Structure 1
Amino acid sequence: MKQSKRYLDIVKEVRDMIRQEKIRPGDRIPSERELAEKLQVGRSTLREALRSLELLGLIETRRGEGTFLSDHRNHQLVEVLSTFILQDNQSQKDVWETRLLHETGAIQAICSNSSLKGLKLWDSFRKKFEDEGFQRDDFVRELMVLSGNRLSLKIWFLLHQYSGNPYSEAVLEPEKELLLPVLEALERQETEQAIQSFKTWSGWIQKRRMQNGDDS
């Protein structure tokens, strides 16, 4: 099922609101509750969008004070990507492939880092795979974080959102046999096998989205 408000919609509406209300860098933006009411979106969806915007450096939260607009120079990447992505279907395909490049790059970095071998994290993921409701997003985001490349993580958040949030759903039963080989190869730090298994899983998600008519 399509979300009533995609991240891109929220990013654009927050940006428009900032312009209309002439909020300047360093100024406080409306609270989560106020934004949800203004934009007519659910609190949970808005919260995820705000968290992504904060990771991208567009806003900053100060404990006990609220959320504030960051320096406008940090908004350039959002502007460039949003202009490019809204052009045509080929752009959407490029976004999907570019996001996949960052994900496979993260896998390569993880497999090259000997300190990540044998982490209890892999056992934790294996247990989570067995539970209902385990989110695809939790798994891929953790891979991006483990890669240690903060710039790649920031770009990935944008690409993930602009490709229609393909990991926004819980892992389905048929996916488990596709995901477990990824996890096993990561544990053994077998780069080629991990990347190939990940691409197979990503392709399965893309095909299913196209069959459901859930394209971005």
Structure 2
Amino acid sequence: MAVIDGVVAEVRKLIIEGSLLPGDRLPQESEFAERLGVSRNSLREAVRVLEQMRVLDVRHGSGTYVSSLEPAQLLEGISFAVEVMRDDTLREVIEVRELLEPVATRLAVTRTTPESLARIRAAFEHHSSQRSIEDLVHSDLEFHAEIVRATGNQTLISLLEGLSSKTVRLRVWGGIVSDNAVDLTIQHHQNILNAIEAGDAHGAECAAYVHVTAARRWLDAYLTDQEPQS
């Protein structure tokens, strides 16, 4: 395994240094293995690892290429990682969202266009008309996604989309959809939308912080209810 890790590190170094660029085809397997001083089997295993990391793209019958290295591609594994997390680690996901989502909302205000603003409002109106858990989760995700997309920051978009797992939200909403959680969420979204439409970056950031903090409190209550009683 140490040999494979070494090969992975060497290929990553070539990419970081610019010797291999996005879209470049890797040398023939025998040539590349000799250049790296490893067996062809070790190189194949390293390529598999890098393919899983979305760094390399293996095209059968054509060769192995450096991927586009776009954030959406490189960071897509975050969503899977979040979905398989245990309940007791979901609090950490919400804490990261508390750090990122309000800032992303503030940034969106400074970069929004009439088109992106229209999409945010449409997503809000769609969400506010839903009542089933499945529809609420889907439309809630879309509202927040449209806000983050307005930033135009692909890395931020990929990170927050990965952290905003539909499966995780279903687990949380399933525990809190009683009482006034739905109406309160819609009011939070309305506050965020009002601030965005008013061009109030600070107000939008604060409204987003209040919203995601409430989500964390709901999650805390939900997870506490799931804990075995002594």
Q: Measure, in 2, the Cα distance between the counterparts of 1:108 and 1:76.
A: 23
> 1:157–1:177: structure 2 CA closer, same or farther, 3 Å change rule?
closer
CA contact 1:182–1:197 (8 Å) conserved in 2: yes
Alignment of 1:13-162 (within 5 A): 24=48, 57=54, 95-113=93-111, 115-116=113-114, 119-132=117-130, 133-134=135-136, 135-161=139-165
Question: In the alignment, is the contact (CA less than 8 A) between 1:110 and 1:189 conserved in 2?
Answer: no
Q: Which position in structure 1 is the counterpart of 2:187?
A: 177
Report the Cα offset of residue 154 of structure 1: 1.8
- 2:8 matched residue in structure 1: none
Tell me by how many angstroms 1:108 deviates.
1.8
Q: Which has the larger radius of gyration?
A: 2
Q: 1:57 to 1:95 in 2, by over 3 A?
A: same
Of stretches 107-116 and 199-208 in structure 1, the one that deviates more from structure 2 is 107-116
Q: 1:76 to 1:154 in 2, by over 3 A?
A: closer
Q: Tell me, what secondary structure is at the counterpart of 2:168? A: coil
User: One-letter code of the match for 2:212?
Assistant: S
CA contact (8 A) 2:112 2:151 kept: no
CA distance in structure 2 between the partners assigned to 1:102 and 1:203 by the alignment: 12
User: In structure 2, how many angstroms separate the alpha carbons of the residues matched to 1:145 and 1:118?
Assistant: 8
Q: Verify the 8 A CA contact 2:75 2:159 in the aligned structure 1.
A: no
Q: Which runs of 5+ in 2 are unaligned?
A: 1-44, 60-65
Q: In structure 2, do the counterparts of structure 1 residues 147 and 153 end up closer, same or farther at CA, with 3 Å as the change threshold? A: same
Letter in 2 for 1:139: F
- Per-residue displacement from partner, 1:69-124 (whole Å, max 9, x unpaired)? x86x9769959xx6xxx8xx7x7655433333332232122211263489322441
Give the direction of change, closer, same or farther, for the CA distance of 1:180–1:25 in structure 2 (3 Å limit).
same
Q: CA deviation at 1:139?
A: 1.1
Tell me the TM-score normalised to structure 2 length: 0.49
SS in 2 for 1:212: helix
8 Å Cα contact 2:98-2:213 kept in structure 1: no
Residues 94 and 212 in structure 2, CA contact (< 8 A), matched pair in contact too: no
Of the candidates 173, 195, 210, which is equivalent to residue 200 of structure 1?
Answer: 210
Supply the distance in 2 between the matched residues of 1:176 and 1:77 (Cα, whole angstroms): 29
Identify, as 1 or 2, the structure richer in helix. Answer: 2
Counterpart Cα distance in 2 of 1:58 and 1:131:
41
Alpha-carbon distance between aligned partners in 2 of 1:57 and 1:151, rounded to the nearest angstrom: 15
CA shift for structure 1 position 26? 10
Structure 1: tracts of 5 or more residues without a match:
1-21, 28-52, 63-69
Contact 1:186 1:194 in 2 (8 A): yes
1:50 matched residue in structure 2: none
CA distance in 2, matches of 1:129, 1:98: 24
Match of 1:37? none
Quote the Cα distance in structure 1 between the aligned partners of 2:56 and 2:74: 10
The residue type paired with residue 150 of structure 2 is L
Identity %: 12
2: distance between equivalents of 1:128 and 1:99?
Answer: 23
CA contact (8 A) 1:166 1:205 kept: no
